[in-house]
Structures are given as structure tokens and as C-alpha cells.
């Protein structure tokens, strides 16, 4: 959830001063675009993986501080809850065997952390929503100690006028409840894919990521249960959106697919300034050249596809598209296969002679996304030029081919591309992703969330991709 702050209590003048700096930095960013300040020609992939720490009963284990201190690895950092961790990878230039390099490093880091967790009789779980989590686990006492999280909780409560969060998710079951704090977010763990792109073409990539979001959420779905209720294939989507409500219309929502396509990626940062109240007015000593206030503010707006500003070792700015629709898990190989599919598909879509956003109205792309989150690979959507098609067939017959083309243009080795996209192809052929496996297990063995989680973890630790899992 981003960078730490030094204070969690703010005065009215802090918000005024922060907003002035945000305006100045947004103008500076626009100037950088106008002046061509961004280097071109290097595509890079990276990720953030959010995970659970669970005890011997497969229940959330709030021990991340002790585990992180023992691990002492800069690639693994705290998350919102004391039972969550965030794993990062060394970004890889998109060529050769980039995805295998990501997978090898993540598997090594994951294995080391998992072994250390055993010192507390705990282990790691890579899953969108942990089946054994109950609402009582999502309490302020289980919040990580970073001041950022305390301040977010306070400011989000103010934005909803102090009213409780109201959750209403209608899936195969219906789940309705109210909650008082930000901790609901900690139940939604994801695999966030970062794609560094040329700034002058970032708008095309951003639009392409939105077009691709339906296929991505369907093929990767891994969150069918919450508090024992059987809901959407990717229940993470409605849960996270409803966990961060604010007063106002669609344009001010902080967790959303967005309100439309963009002409330039700068449109997103203008919308940040104009549509979203400041949550964390931390004033920092900076000339503005690092855009610290703009980046902090952007980190409190959780679009399912989010543009990020970063800086390289030479202090040159760059643009990344952060794709947030994919849940964690089920395994390292499944996660990296999702990244390969996303990168290849988005690069192909963004480079089509006729932009796909010209052939798919935004309202339809948005409807496709939520249908796919609800029904997964069984969803039927409207694709380019209004054609109605089942997502499973679309991925198999068209999108995998586009992804292969996109990876080839990035100079990914053909064997590398074939391996990772082959995992996606088999997942689609069998129709078995994490969500469908969990549902099938429950149909076979009954509604026992602890036993489901144990079976899931056994298969996760076998390192087999989810399409190979048995019941």
C-alpha cells in the first residue's frame, strides 16, 4: 500500500499545503511530457505479490513483524495486516528468459520465507481470499504498525462521514454485513503486474490493459469464498471496491476500473488532482523533481489498472502500468504465467493498427470486466466490434495468439513464451483455475474451509500448476 509517512495526524493547513504541491507537481509532470523528458525503448516487467501467513490450523497468523525481522530481505515488506506480507521481484528487461528469471527469484524468496515461518509453526499461503478468514480477524489490533495505515483508516472514515462500510455481494450465495475500518482490504491479496512502457504511448497501453482486464480476471480467478459464503469467481473485486466507499459519484470512487479510456496517461494524474480528495497530506522536503507528493497521492487511488511514476538509477522518470486485477496464487508458476499472458496480450493490443478502444466502447469493457469477475471462464462478453463470445473460447482462439505475437515483438525467446503461455492454454483447456478448483473441492468434500485450505496448501507446496491439481 505504498510508502511510509512520519505522522498520522494532520491539520487543515497540511491539506492546503499538500494540495498546492500536488498542483505544482502535476504541472511539472505535464511539462516533462511536453518536453519529452522520458527515455524510450525499454520495456521492463516486475511484480508485487501479497501473501498470507497462516498457523497450523490454516488460520491467519499475525506475526509478520517477527518474521520480517528474521528474514531481513528488502524484497519482502509489510502489508496492511500483521498476517500479510508483500513479495517483490527484481524488475526484468523484457527479452530472452525474463519470466523464468522472475519465477526463479520468487520461488527462492518464497521458499526461504516459508521455511523461516516454520520457526513460529506457521507457513505462507498464496491465494486471493483465505477461505478460513473470518470478519473478527479483520480488526485494528491486527493492523501493521506503519503510521500510513492508521492515517488511511482515519481519513477514509472521514470521507464516508464516519458511517460503517456496508458490504453486499450477491453471487451463488448473498453476503451482507457492515464493518468499521480499513482492514477489509487485507482480505484481498493480489499479484500486481508492473509493465514499464514508453511514456508517449502509455495511454495506448493503459487502454489496452483495461480492454484485457476481463480476460485476465477470468483466467486467474482464485477468490470464490468469503466468510464461508460462495460468491463471485473473483470476490476480491467487489470486496475491495466496497471496502473503500466514499461520499460522491462514480468519478470520485477510489477503487474502480475507471470512468473511461484516456488520450494520454497524464489524464489519470489530472483526474487524481481534480476528482480525489487528499488522504495523506504528508509534506516532504523536495524540490518537486521526484514528484513525491504526486506519487503519494496516486498511491491512495487504487484503480484496477494504475499508472505509476518511477525513477531509474540515473534519476530519469519512467511510466509503469500496474495491473491489479489478478489475485495471488495459486502457485509461483501460475502467477508468472499470468504475467506473461498479460504482458504479451497488452503489448499486442497496444500495437494494433486500429486501437482496440476504438472498437470496444468503454461501457462494454467495464461490463465485460465485472461479468468476468463474477462468472470467470464461463462468462460471455462482447468483444471488439460488438461480437458476443464466451471468454474461454476467446482466450483459446484469439487472445493466446495475440499474446504470443506480443511476446515475440519483445524478443522473448520462443521456448520461454511457449512454456508460460502453455500454462495459460492448459488452464483454459481444462477450465480449472484456482476458483474452479476450490468450488470443485467443496462439492466433493463439503463446506469445510479449514480442510479446503489445507488441501490447497498441500497442492501449492507441490509446485504443480493449478490446472494439474486433483481433488
Residues 30-44: tens digit of each pLDDT: 999 999 999 999 899
User: Side-chain half-sphere of 325: how many Cα atoms within 13 Å?
Assistant: 29
pLDDT at 1 over 50: no
Question: Averaged over 137-148, what is the pLDDT?
Answer: 92
Question: Averaged over 204-231, what is the pLDDT?
Answer: 98
CA angle 424, 432, 109 (to 5 degrees): 60
Per-residue pLDDT band at 6 (split at 50, 70, 90): low
Q: What percent of the chain has pLDDT above 70? A: 97
The per-residue pLDDT for range 79-107, each reduced to its tens digit, is 999 999 999 999 999 999 999 999 999 99
pLDDT at 452 over 70: yes
Question: Averaged over 162-175, what is the pLDDT?
Answer: 96
Per-residue pLDDT band at 443 (split at 50, 70, 90): very high
* Closest listed residue to residue 291, CA positions, set 322, 264, 318: 318
Question: Averaged over 272-296, what is the pLDDT?
Answer: 91
Give the integer Cα–Cα distance in Å for 61 and 395: 38
- What pLDDT is attached to residue 8? 61
Q: Report the run of H or E that residue 87 belongs to, with start and end.
A: strand 84-88
The per-residue pLDDT for range 293-351, each reduced to its tens digit, is 999 999 999 999 999 999 988 889 999 999 999 999 999 999 999 999 999 999 999 99
Over the Cα atoms of the chain, what is R_g? 21
pLDDT at 249 over 90: no
Question: Averaged over 361-377, what is the pLDDT?
Answer: 98
- What pLDDT is attached to residue 246? 77
Please, what sign has the CA dihedral across residues 122, 128, 132, 135? positive
- What pLDDT is attached to residue 146? 85
Average pLDDT, whole number, for the chain? Answer: 95
Question: Averaged over 346-373, what is the pLDDT?
Answer: 98
* pTM (whole model) above 0.85: yes
Long-range contacts of 79-82 (CB under 8 A, 24+ apart): 79/1, 79/50, 79/144, 79/186, 79/189, 80/1, 80/143, 80/144, 80/149, 80/182, 80/183, 80/185, 80/186, 81/138, 81/142, 81/143, 81/144, 81/183, 81/186, 82/142, 82/143, 82/144
The answer to whether the peptide bond before residue 405 is cis (omega within 30 degrees of 0) is no
Q: Which domains does the chain have, with CATH numbers?
A: 12-466 (3.30.590.20)
- What pLDDT is attached to residue 147? 87
How do 317-323 and 44-54 pair as beta strands? unpaired
Amino acid at each position: 500500500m505504498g510508502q511510509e509517512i512520519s505522522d498520522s495526524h494532520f491539520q487543515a493547513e497540511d491539506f492546503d499545503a499538500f494540495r498546492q504541491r500536488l498542483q505544482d507537481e502535476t504541472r511539472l509532470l505535464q511539462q516533462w511530457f511536453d518536453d519529452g523528458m522520458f527515455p524510450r525503448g525499454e520495456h521492463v516487467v516486475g511484480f508485487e505479490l501479497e501473501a498470507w501467513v497462516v498457523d497450523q490450523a490454516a488460520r491467519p497468523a499475525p506475526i509478520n513483524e517477527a518474521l520480517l525481522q528474521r528474514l531481513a530481505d528488502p524484497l519482502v515488506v509489510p502489508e496492511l495486516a500483521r498476517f500479510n506480507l508483500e513479495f517483490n521481484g527484481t524488475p526484468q528487461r523484457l527479452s530472452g528468459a525474463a519470466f523464468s528469471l522472475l519465477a526463479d527469484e520468487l520461488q527462492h524468496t518464497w521458499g526461504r520465507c516459508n521455511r523461516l515461518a516454520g520457526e513460529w509453526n506457521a507457513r505462507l499461503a498464496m491465494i486471493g481470499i483465505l477461505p478460513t478468514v473470518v470478519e473478527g480477524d479483520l480488526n485494528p489490533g491486527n493492523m501493521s504498525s506503519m503510521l500510513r495505515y492508521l492515517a488511511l483508516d482515519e481519513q477514509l472514515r472521514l470521507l464516508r462521514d464516519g458511517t460503517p462500510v456496508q458490504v453486499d455481494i450477491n453471487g451463488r450465495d448473498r453476503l451482507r454485513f457492515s464493518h468499521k475500518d480499513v482492514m477489509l482490504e487485507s482480505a484481498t491479496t493480489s499479484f500486481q503486474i508492473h509493465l514499464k512502457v514508453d511514456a508517449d504511448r502509455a495511454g495506448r497501453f493503459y487502454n489496452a490493459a483495461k480492454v484485457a482486464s476481463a480476460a485476465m480476471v477470468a483466467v486467474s480467478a482464485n477468490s470464490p469464498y468469503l466468510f464461508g459464503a460462495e460468491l463471485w469467481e473473483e470476490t476480491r473485486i467487489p470486496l475491495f471496491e466496497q471496502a473503500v466507499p466514499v461520499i460522491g459519484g462514480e468519478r470520485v470512487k477510489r477503487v474502480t476500473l475507471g470512468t473511461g479510456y484516456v488520450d494520454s496517461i497524464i489524464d489519470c494524474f489530472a483526474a487524481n488532482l481534480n476528482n480525489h480528495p487528499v488522504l495523506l497530506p504528508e509534506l516532504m522536503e523536495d524540490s518537486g523533481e521526484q514528484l513525491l507528493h504526486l506519487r503519494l497521492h496516486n498511491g491512495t487511488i487504487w484503480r484496477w489498472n494504475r499508472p505509476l511514476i518511477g525513477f531509474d538509477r540515473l534519476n530519469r522518470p519512467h511510466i509503469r502500468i500496474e495491473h491489479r486485477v489478478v489475485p495471488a496464487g495459486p502457485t509461483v508458476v501460475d502467477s508468472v504465467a499470468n504475467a506473461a499472458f498479460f504482458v504479451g496480450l497488452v503489448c499486442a493490443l497496444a500495437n494494433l493498427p486500429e486501437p482496440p478502444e476504438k472498437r470496444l466502447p468503454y461501457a462494454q469493457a467495464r461490463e465485460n470486466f465485472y461479468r468476468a469477475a463474477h462468472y470467470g471462464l464461463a462468462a460471455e462478453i462482447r468483444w471488439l466490434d460488438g461480437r458476443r463470445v464466451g471468454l474461454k473460447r476467446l482466450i483459446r482462439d484469439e487472445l493466446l495468439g495475440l499474446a504470443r505475437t506480443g511476446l515475440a515483438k519483445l524478443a522473448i525467446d520462443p521456448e520461454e513464451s511457449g512454456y508460460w503461455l502453455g500454462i495459460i492454454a492448459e488452464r483454459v483447456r481444462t477450465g480449472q483455475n484456482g476458483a474452479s478448483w476450490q468450488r470443485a473441492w467443496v462439492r466433493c468434500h463439503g463446506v469445510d474451509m479449514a480442510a479446503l485450505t489445507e488441501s490447497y496448501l498441500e497442492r501449492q507446496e507441490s509446485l504443480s500448476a493449478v490446472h494439474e491439481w486433483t481433488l
